Structure 1
């Protein structure tokens, strides 16, 4: 989300997460995951166990506009449930009106993700990541930079909210704190699980008619060596960077998809060059995280900069072996992934693949009251 995220988040993680986190809330009911068929048990930090009351508090905070300094936005402003927790914009707009440079990513199944932003390998926990929109300055999101105490006092002034914090964190001497705030937000985000799409009902539920024939043909193409899609969008979550209780060692891959090649050497536009901005390694030029494809049909626009409006355009990009080929007379970027090599689809096959991607839409998830705005009118 920002260029100086690594050091910023790391400092606050030590200051706030390293002290006073405590164990599972005394007497609090453990959270019931209600995991979809085929989904592994999520991995949860030992210092932030999941409980029903903590998730409920996190949901309320996620949608509370008081988490922006000027009271105009909440986390939910850029992560709308009906859009699978994206915002439908090319670039999000922060609470102060600043336009951000990267497209808002979805939060569905974020509990399984090993990396949490487009191109920051240092942000690997939802607790650390929550600090970025709250206090970051590049870009300004919620706008509380250098005003942490103001935020906490604002929350403490609400007696009912303070009581919710006390129920969620009964072992904390000071229930309302930055540490408990970000732990509650992280707990709610971990609860946002999507897994009842037509694809899921077909593959895990064994409902043979859950997917249409066209969608099944598209699935075969998606998994084929011709298209190579499942190298970066693999497994139950259609994402290569996945972690859960059975994971031996999480991986943190980032990929160059050949979207840009400004100079024939693979250079991306100066406004956003990917993971290289933090790692400094030349090979990380243009490398970004591969997002999950779940609910992808409702998360347009696409790519890290929102530069593609439709899934049809995305397929054309990969079929061409990267847009850089189109812009440079067929010359591929020397830095792009070896899996982005181009392929040919007939018009019918392209529609089959698009139909398959549509089958990943979990309509129940998009309206599930467990994840909805508690402040909205019933």
Structure 2
């Protein structure tokens, strides 16, 4: 697993990253907001996502980023692309427990869906350093422990040469970065990919149509589930509230001085009875080394959650019903094996995960509501599709 030293190194390799606390978000005026809303196709009931001042989006960056996202030439051995672990049909998740990198190394964390990732104040499952998409992209591209795309220092020149010797990419990089004559660089690749990722906005589910006034968009069962989701029995909304169904949220109007960065232990494991999680991934603890942070992970967005199974940071829960059963019990019981322990008794568990009882009707209603967060237009939007598949 990547340790804190590796993260610091990755954050220092590029002037683009926002690991420096001096990084600022572009202040958007009313006219600029109209332009950005049109460019990024932000729904009217959404705020503009935060955009770092060093990477203002353009149509040309989006076009380049989309192509790079699907191109296996971006991996050192040309076997994987970003889309290998983030498939549009699965809301840009991959349907696997945990993926493998381009060289076959097993990763320890489940591939999150990318819908509305621009609205998270921190990126990935458990990291307080990656505050911009540009920060996070350094890892899948550059990391060597474990290898994902594998563009380690010895392969950088070879990978860049693939783009600098390709006439299509020569034009795309020139259009996206007209003030630069240096061709493809990792910084430009990261900027373009981040810009494309900021367009992956999902806001046209049945829930959204209900939110905007179409009271026929949700069934009676889904409405019951909506009420239960936001009630004090199920208490889902405490960690999965707001327009993005996650308390890990910010937009262009957010005050960075009061921004919160929530991470929680939900009782998924309790090794040795002391709150520990499996040693290959103990969440925020692996970065802070604070023993009270064992098992702390960021609440993901529930947008398109019916498409992004399996669930949890390690993909260890297969279905939405099993997720609800986990919270009904107040923590998971593993009776045998190396991860044996009773998560209900985890001393570091959030007080909101206390267990409760619910009828089958109520459980089915909550699942039905979660299914109403599926945005079919998002997963079929040609603007997000593989450009290499187009005729």
TM-score by length of 2: 0.90
Per the alignment, residue 110 of structure 2 pairs with: 103
SS at match of 1:307: coil
**2:196 counterpart (175, 188, 193):** 188
Per the alignment, do residues 265 and 48 of structure 1 end up closer, same or farther by CA in structure 2, a change over 3 Å counting?
Answer: same
1:267 aligns with 2:268: no
Please give the alpha-carbon distance, in whole angstroms, between the structure 1 residues aligned to 2:380 and 2:152: 33
What SS class does the counterpart of residue 32 from structure 1 fall into? helix
Does the 8 Å CA contact 2:230/2:236 hold for their aligned counterparts?
A: yes
C-alpha separation between the residues in 1 aligned to 2:7 and 2:43? 34
* 1:338 paired residue among 351, 372, 378: 351
Is 1:87 aligned to 2:94, yes or no?
yes
Match of 2:314 in 1: 305
Give the structure 1 partner of residue 2 of structure 2.
2
Structure-2 change in CA distance of 1:16 and 1:176 (3 Å): farther
Give the unaligned 5+ runs of structure 1.
Answer: 24-28
**Residues 16 and 179 in structure 1, CA contact (< 8 A), matched pair in contact too:** no
Distance 2:13 2:294 in 1: 28
- 1: distance between equivalents of 2:265 and 2:380? 34
User: Is the Cα contact below 8 Å between 2:221 and 2:365 reproduced in 1?
Assistant: yes
Alpha-carbon separation, structure 1, partners of 2:138 and 2:15 = 12
Structure 2 unaligned residues grouped into runs of 5+:
21-25, 27-34
**1:35-54 superposed matches below 5 A:** 35-54=42-61
Alpha-carbon distance in 2 for matches of 1:330, 1:98: 29
Q: 1:58-73 to 2 correspondence within 5 Å?
A: 58-73=65-80
Q: Which stretch has the larger CA shift, 142-151 or 226-235?
A: 142-151
The answer to whether the 8 A contact 1:240-1:253 is kept is yes
The Cα shift of 1:330 comes to: 8.1
Does residue 349 (structure 1) correspond to residue 366 (structure 2)? The answer is no
How far the C-alpha of 1:3 sits from its partner, in A, is 2.9
- Aligned pair partner of 1:361 in 361, 371, 374: 374
Per the alignment, residue 256 of structure 1 pairs with: 265
TM-aligned CA deviation for residue 120 of structure 1:
1.4
Matched with 2:177 is 169
Q: Per the alignment, in what secondary structure is the counterpart of residue 364 of structure 1?
A: helix
Q: Distance in 2 between matches of 1:164 and 1:288?
A: 38
Deviations 1:75-125 (A, max 9, x none): 001000000000000011111111111100110001101111111111111
CA distance in 2, matches of 1:247, 1:262: 38
Task: Give yes or no for contact 2:273–2:342 (8 Å, CA) kept in 1.
Answer: no
Is 1:218 matched with 2:225?
A: yes
Change (3 A) 1:193 1:132: same
State whether residues 332 and 343 of structure 2, in contact with CA within 8 Å, keep that contact through their aligned partners in structure 1: no
- 1: CA distance between counterparts of 2:351 and 2:342? 19
Pair 1:148-2:156 in alignment: yes
Contact persistence 2:164–2:183 (CA under 8 A):
no
CA distance in 1, matches of 2:274, 2:294: 10
Q: Deviations over 1:127-149 (max 9, x none)?
A: 12111111101211011111222
| Secondary structure in structure 2 of the residue aligned to 1:13 | coil
What is the TM-score normalised by the length of structure 1? 0.93
Aligned residues: 368
Separation of aligned partners in 2, 1:371 and 1:57: 12
* Structure 1 pair 300–238 and aligned structure 2 pair: CA distance change class (3 A): same
Q: Secondary structure at the match of 1:357?
A: helix
CA drift at 1:15:
7.5
Structure 1 residues 340, 160: closer, same or farther in 2, change over 3 A?
same
Q: Give the aligned partner of residue 31 of structure 2.
A: none
